[in-house]
Amino acid sequence: MLKIRIEKTTRPKDLPKADDPLKFGTIFTDHMFLMNYEEGEGWHDPRIVPYQPICLEPSAMVFHYGQEMFEGLKAYKAVDGRTLLFRPNKNIERANRSNKRLCIPEIPEEVFLEALKTLVKIDEQWIPEKEGTSLYIRPFVIATDPFLGVRPANSYLFIIILSPVGAYYPEGLNPVKIWVEDEYVRAVKGGIGEAKTGGNYVASLKSQVKAHDEGYSQVLWLDGVHRKYIEEVGAMNIFFKIDGTILTPELNGSILPGVTRASVIELCKEWGLPVKESRISIDEIYEAHKNGTLEEVFGTGTAAVISPVGQLRWEDHIMKVQDGGIGQLSQKLYDTLTGIQLGKIEDKHNWTVEV
Ligand SMILES: *Cc1c(COP(=O)(O)O)cnc(C)c1O
């Protein structure tokens, strides 16, 4: 296996103060991981160096045609002092599925995992310890050829940076208000909706701005063909509990296959709840709301883990869920997942990986 070269900083930064709210994605640790790819040579020169700006040609392909992939996962300080990653192999597998779709060369899985562990270990003292906090890990690949033609690049840079993040909801789980978007779309089948890549996010900004202006924190996307079937939320997958059944949109080619989504499905099945991955129309949700069977709605994703939805707005209809409060299942899923991540609950599934 490729050996990671390590160059430690001689000027460590001040760690954030214990009471710093750690606004998401604003502070970065002392080190970062880099690895280059060149056609003919493959991935080479894996190294950990002091966190610093990178130098690219203005003609670097990523700036023009967006050939890039990213991932997002977290490291946690467990209650017994261990440092834990949550299902990192799922992120690594998904990264390589995204890479394939985006014509980026795949990254050897063992090098990827070793890079995550080594980097997190080196900056371990940056993992915050207050309830709900963690160290967010952002691996990404960019195309670096200085070339304005359209084709897959011949050279790439794989980078991992780390950022201590505060509790997503400083006052505990907090229901969000969601805008069901029926004008713009995020992705269509055959496009890049299944890949974790910047292009999907730039496609979503216009609608997100509109939703924010209307007082809604996130957008729920409908399918790009009929504007009828539910896809997912900004950076979360979505679940509904209707009359005791747990429903989530099936992975249809335009939805991001979330690691949290997969974990929630497994837990619900273990708890004996009926789980259905299927095509769900917004009319069905509206009907369930009208007849009183829409019991819970929640989003799932690494950042917030579980995000209860207190209100959905679709066209002129405002659907309140759980009277704007937190459902029992949402709370139980949140407590269980964060309990496993922090080593408070026995990890029967072997989901955590010690650094
Ligand atoms: C990352 C992401 C998710 C959530 O995936 P997790 O692996 O659970 O963090 C959902 N939707 C989109 C569009 C995403 O980018």
Domain C-terminal end among 140, 165, 190? 165
Q: Tell me which of 236, 248, 252 to substitute to probe ligand 1's pocket, judged by most ligand atoms within 8 Å of the beta carbon.
A: 236
In a domain, 353, yes or no: no
**Which residue matches tokens 């399918």?**
223
Name the residue range of residue 53's domain: 5-165
pLDDT score of 18: 86
Q: What is the mean pLDDT of residues 134-141?
A: 98
For residue 98, the CA-to-ligand 1 centroid distance in Å is 12
Same domain, 156 and 195: no
Q: Nearest-CA neighbor of 337 among 168, 196, 98?
A: 168
Whether 323 maps to a domain, the answer reads yes
Distance CA 246, CA 276 (A): 6
Structural domain ending residue among the three candidates 165, 184, 219? 165
Q: Can you tell me the distance from the alpha carbon of 109 to that of 92, in angstroms, rounded to the nearest whole number?
A: 6
**pTM for this prediction:** 0.97
- 345 occurs within a structural domain: no
Cα of 195 from ligand 1 centre, angstroms: 10
Length of the chain: 355
What angle do helix axes 259-270 and 88-101 make, rounded to 10 degrees? 130
Specify if 23 maps to a domain: yes
Residue 309, pLDDT > 80, answer yes
Domain count, the chain: 2
User: For residue 168, what pLDDT is reported?
Assistant: 80
Give distance in angstroms: CA of 39 to centre of ligand 1: 30
CA nearest neighbour of 172 among 326, 321, 311: 326
User: Which residues are near ligand 1 (CB < 6 Å)?
Assistant: 72, 196, 232, 235-237, 256, 258-261, 300-302
What pLDDT, in 10s, does the model give residues 166-195? 988 766 788 999 999 999 999 999 999 999
Q: Are 24 and 145 found together in one domain?
A: yes
Region 137-144: mean pLDDT is 98
Q: Give the mutation target among 24, 68, 237 for probing the ligand 1 site: most ligand atoms within 8 A of CB.
A: 237
Per residue in 105-126, pLDDT (tens digit) is 999 999 999 999 999 999 999 9
Same domain as 210, residue 91 = no
Residues 237 and 277 in one domain: yes
CA dist., res. 96 & res. 4, Å (int): 20
203 belongs to a structural domain: yes
User: Is 62 contained in some domain?
Assistant: yes
Structure tokens at 288: 């369930």
Where residue 237 sits, what CATH number does that domain have? Answer: 3.20.10.10
Q: State both tokens at 307.
A: 């995000």
348 assigned to some structural domain: no
Residue ending a domain, choose from 146, 165, 184: 165
271-286: pLDDT as tens digits: 999 999 999 999 999 9
Q: Do 182 and 244 reside in the same domain of the chain?
A: yes
122 and 229, same domain (yes or no): no
Q: What is the 302 CA–ligand 1 centroid distance (Å)? A: 7
In a domain, 346, yes or no: no
The domain that holds 12 is classified in CATH as 3.30.470.10
- Give the Å distance between the CA of 36 and the centre of ligand 1: 26
pLDDT for 175: 92
Q: How confident is the model at residue 241 (pLDDT cuts 50, 70, 90)?
A: very high
